[in-house]
Amino acid sequence: MATENPSNQGKTPAIGDFLLHYRVEQILGKGGMGAVYCAWDTKLQRGVAIKVLLPDSQENPGRRRRFLREARAASALNHPGIVSIYEINEQDGLDFLVMELVDGQTLSSLMRTRRQPLRTALDYMRQAAESIAKAHAAGIVHRDLKPANIMVTRDGQVKILDFGLAKYDPPAAGNAQSDATQTMSLTANGQVMGTPSYMSPEQAMGMALDARSDVFSFGVILYEIPAGAKPFEGTTNFAILHNITTVEPAALATLRSDLPAGVIALVAGMLKKPVEERTSDMGRVAAGLRELAASVPAEANPDEVPTQTIVMPGGVRPPRQWARLYRPVLALAAIGLAVWGGATILGTRPPPAPKPRPLAGIATIDMSLPARELYRAGTEAFKRHDFRQNIDVAIEAFKAAKAKEPTWTLPDAALAVAYARKNTNAPDPTWLRLAEQHAAEVLKKEPSLAAAHFASGVVHLSAGRLPEARKELERTIELDPSHANAHFRLARALDPKTDGDRARALRQRAVELAPEDWETHSEWGLFLSAQGEYAAAAAAFSKATSLAPDNSVTLRNLAASLQMTERYDEAAAAYQRSLEIAPAAATYSNLGTLLYFQGKYAEAAPAFERAVEINPNLFRNWGNLADAYRWLPGKEAERLEALDRAIALARTALAAKQQDTATRSNLASNLAKRGFPREAIAEVEQVDGNAATGQTAYNLALANELSGRRTQALQLLDTAVKKGHPLKEIQNDPYLSELRRDAEYHRWLGRLPASR
């Protein structure tokens, strides 16, 4: 039941207040006329974003019209690349929009914190162009396109934000004018409306606009990305607008001579000042970007790593100025891009990444080879799919082999597996559809071929269709008992609660069948880690690392296993080697945890800050940073801010996956640390502590201890230790200092086996 807030009439909501049935969780940012909050929809049990018109704007008819225009424009569109508006409503004199909560970063923030390969950047902009083209087809001109209004989700999906300045003239409405279709006034109280640096010449001069104005703005973004500077600069808004209308920008080719000619030509066509000479529509821009992305060779991206990884326990969070970088719904961050290099990393304290090591596992293939050699070369490249660009190289080789020998079916099977891997790394209907097409084709032609059933099983596994995956992988092993990859993938498709013993046996058999395959050893290590068998896991990861020494993820997992067995010096060295290859958020987080549990809070905090800078979308990173700040002087405000972010992100994750006990236990411990014991215990009681993993039981123990339930905390600590959680962390965790003074704690220690 929603709580009434009669005393808040005319005021912005506070954390914990309700707007109808939406509970306000955290403020994400404020602009000139509105504030954006992360909130929890108590009816539909999901995270949402709420944009509230500020009290000063409530009495301004123009601002209220703009607010309504945003709702009308965005709600008129149904496209995965445009943020959805759920409803517009009013309470206690406040107008507010409820919209989709996007799990991602603004393009401006993303490009400041992570260098992107050219192909990836072009694909982001292609997606954005397709979304804008959809808006144009519906009669909507955005009129405020800029990097801060383009979001990239964790899965690489691009979404367009903020239609508050949109010109909405649906085709069915003809030329009728209304509040929603009036041309935007250039000034309001002497201030430029919109963002001057990204305006088209006709917008800068206050002329009537059409879709070509958005094309120009989009061209400004495409120019700025490789150049590292906007094409039209100035010390005042007037100077910027003057330059837009009268000055030609510096030739992009002179700033970045290494850029493909196609990129330079596309940008030049979009930045033509005369409307009639400019690229005519965003559909053509999207098509051009699609062709350019397809023609650009794959390149290394050390930030992209496989998703299977061990994330260490711990707790700490980032400074306030970093928290402002993350804008899940409405982009209010400053602009700063460097897709192809030259980015300044925000923040000053995080440790610099070690100098990257050469990556020996990156493949190149001569596409003029005969079909059979192309297939073999693609297969070798795909063995190191931990480098995602190798997947693309392998796909091109398999496609070329198929083109040269159309009746040969093995390239189809290989293509199905490769596209399934792309879908697993970054779920996308396109990859899954291609994987399914190739798998169906080879299975139809070769129903007795083990590779056909393996491809089908892998595709089902990537799509989450576990019964179908089990059937196909079982058939693969029947046809080819020596198929190592089928063994460990079948293990993944089994229910660990009912088929745990078989899952173990299948993974062991995979190692026996392919002792020189890094992936079988890594898979075995992941399984052992999940069972709390960290010493054995360390041995498995050590073998995987010896076979693929430039695999940053196996190095990180090796370090994590060493850390869990208290081999701290070896763990620190492995983390450093991993960071030399790829400065990933998870590695910095794990390194911070290693330092944290040694009581080195001042050293742990910068590592956690770096983790949050690289990936601000993961609740564990924010929770870890909050923990580190807890024990540093002068960091209380930042600690609370990070905890709020961790709690909001965990709730959003749980909305999509209610049975995720690891996330729920983490949420419980952070709620307790935030001073919300009642809410913490409500989460604790939804998790079966006896069935929990070591880390989950440890989080539940923290939640109970900080909520005043010591008996339950001790019981859960016992479970955590029995399931492999390091006793050393319990003995060193500052949150448990009071518990360690309790006589019952020492009695419990006395009952533990001496080996602990």
* Catalytic positions: 144
* CA dist., res. 699 & res. 727, Å (int): 14
* CA dist., res. 45 & res. 48, Å (int): 10
Question: If we measure between CA atoms, which residue out of 156, 587, 559 comes closest to residue 388?
Answer: 156
| Eight-class DSSP state of 316 | B
Query: Which residue's structure tokens are 């009912």?
Result: 498
Burial of 199 (0-12, 13-18, 19+ CB in 10 A): buried
Return the SS3 of 90: strand
158 beta partners: 152
Question: If we measure between CA atoms, which residue out of 156, 104, 211 comes closest to residue 431?
Answer: 156
Tokens at 43, concatenated: 């009816």
DSSP string, 689-741: GGG--HHHHHHHHHHHHHTT-HHHHHHHHHHHHHTT--HHHHHH-GGGTTGGG
CB–CB of 293/123 below 8 Å?
Answer: yes
Question: If we measure between CA atoms, which residue out of 564, 563, 525, 561 comes closest to residue 544?
Answer: 525
Residue 710: CB atoms within 10 Å: 16
Question: If we measure between CA atoms, which residue out of 653, 738, 722 comes closest to residue 103?
Answer: 653
Q: How far apart, in Å, do the first and last CA atoms of the chain sit? A: 48
Query: Which amino acid type is present at position 687?
Result: V
Return the SS3 of 400: helix
Backbone angles phi, psi at 524, to 5 degrees: -65, -40
Burial of 499 (0-12, 13-18, 19+ CB in 10 A): middle
Question: If we measure between CA atoms, which residue out of 216, 99, 104 comes closest to residue 150?
Answer: 104
* CA dist., res. 412 & res. 319, Å (int): 50
| Eight-class DSSP state of 16 | T
Give the alpha-carbon dihedral of 564, 565, 566, 571, to 10 degrees. -70
Q: How far is CA 579 from the centre of its chain?
A: 19
Return the SS3 of 466: helix
Q: How far is CA 36 from the centre of its chain?
A: 20
Query: Which amino acid type is present at position 31?
Result: G
